[in-house]
Chains A and B, each alone.
Chain A
Amino acid sequence: MKTNVAAWKKGIKTGIPIALGYFAVSFSFGILCKQAALNPFEAVLMSATNLTSAGQFAGLSMITAMATIIEIAIAQLIINSRYLLMSFSLSQKISADTPIYHRLLMSYGITDELFGVSIAQPGKLNPYFMYGVMTVAVPGWSLGTLFGVISGNIFPARITSALSIALYGMLLAVIIPPAKHHKIVAGVIVISMLLSSIFAMIPALQTISSAVKIILISVVVAGCAAFFFPIKEEEA
């Protein structure tokens, strides 16, 4: 019980910069919602139930473009497919006897940033850590949308621009420290970034959606690394 409260508090502390970053990003999403003629209720409903940046930006443009329901569902499936890998990874990060209700609740919070900080926790993951992060990150994401849709752009452009990089900074803070002590991980990170850049630069590859690109590179690079450099029991 005590450890759960401690984990929850730690999660809140970790979640505050995530919440601020989310606020900045979802603020711009809210502005787009207003331009797309969504009312504040619809905009906040989308942020609170979807909790995903790329999926929502794509979904919004498809709603505006009057896409069919099947098209929207398939687009979400592809754009958010990386969560499948993250969820699979998390299934091994929590203890095997974690009850189903924890699994159902935690799943809602699987975003790039929440996954990043959760997987970076030492040892097994306590679900309450994730709940702590969600306690601040979900309101950050939803309120940012609300403010964006009702107020329009009130922040100076310089502030929005500086805040937009916060989420990337956090993700780097998650992957860099382990790379310091683990040469293979460092190599995996460099190769992944190189491949990602190649995909972004070569015209023939640019047509591939970023979701497909993420999955493709993840499976190939992690697969090769696992095959050539399997992790011994005590490291994993």
Chain B
Amino acid sequence: MNQTVFYILIMAAVTYLIRVLPLTLVRKEIKNIYIRSFLYYVPYVTLAVMIFPGILDSTASPWSAFVGFVVAILSAYLGGNVITVALVTCVAVFVVELFL
């Protein structure tokens, strides 16, 4: 096995361990209301932190990305599903970048 492949497999093993440990070790429903609440809020915080301000660097210009950000929030708020929101956001960015 060459060294690169070995490195890749080690990366995969570490990443899988992180993913698998809580899901296999925590087998019971947690009753504690604070831990339950914590786990309820975690996805929103984690995803929000990852979205902003990272989204501003995702396209060719922070301005087109910002328009995409606002359009995504609006279409999600107005009830668009995941697919619609993703598409509308891409189109918004594409259109804005035609003018930049």
B67-85 interface (Cβ within 8 A of A): 68-69, 72-73, 75-77, 79-85
A contact face: mostly helix, strand, loop, or mixed: helix
Contacts of A178 in B (CB 8 A): 44
Interface size, B (range): 35 or more
Residue A192 interfacial (CB < 8 Å): yes
Whole-angstrom CA separation of A80 from B91 in the bound complex: 31
In the complex, A69→B26 CA distance in Å? 30
Q: Is B49 within 8 A of A169, CB to CB?
A: no
In the complex, which range does the number of interface residues on chain A fall in? 35 or more
- Complex formed: what's the CA distance from A230 to B30 in Å? 14
Let me know if B15 and A76 touch, CB within 8 A: yes
Known: A63-B7, A161-B60. Contact between A188 and B47, CB under 8 A? no
For residue A115, which residues in chain B have a CB less than 8 angstroms away from its CB? 43
Q: How far is the CA of A117 from the CA of B47 in the complex (A)?
A: 11
Which partner residue on chain A sits nearest B71 by CB separation?
A169
Contact between B59 and A164, CB atoms less than 8 A apart: yes
Of A103, A189, A210, which is within 8 A of B20 by CB? A103
Check if A150 is an interface residue, CB within 8 A of chain B: no
The answer to whether A104 and B36 touch (CB under 8 A), given A69-B10, A76-B15, A112-B50, is: no
Determine if A52 and B20 form an interchain contact, defined as CB atoms under 8 angstroms apart: no
Instruction: Mark interface residues in B88-99 (1 if CB within 8 Å of A CB, else 0).
Output: 111101100110
- Pick from B35, B41, B45, B90: contact of A169, CB below 8 A: B90
A205 within 8 A of B: no
CB-CB under 8 A for A87 and B48, given A49-B12, A72-B10, A185-B41: no
Known A107-B24, A161-B97; further 15 A-B contacts with Cβ < 8 A: A49-B8, A63-B7, A76-B14, A82-B50, A88-B22, A92-B30, A103-B24, A158-B98, A170-B86, A172-B76, A173-B84, A188-B41, A189-B44, A196-B48, A231-B40
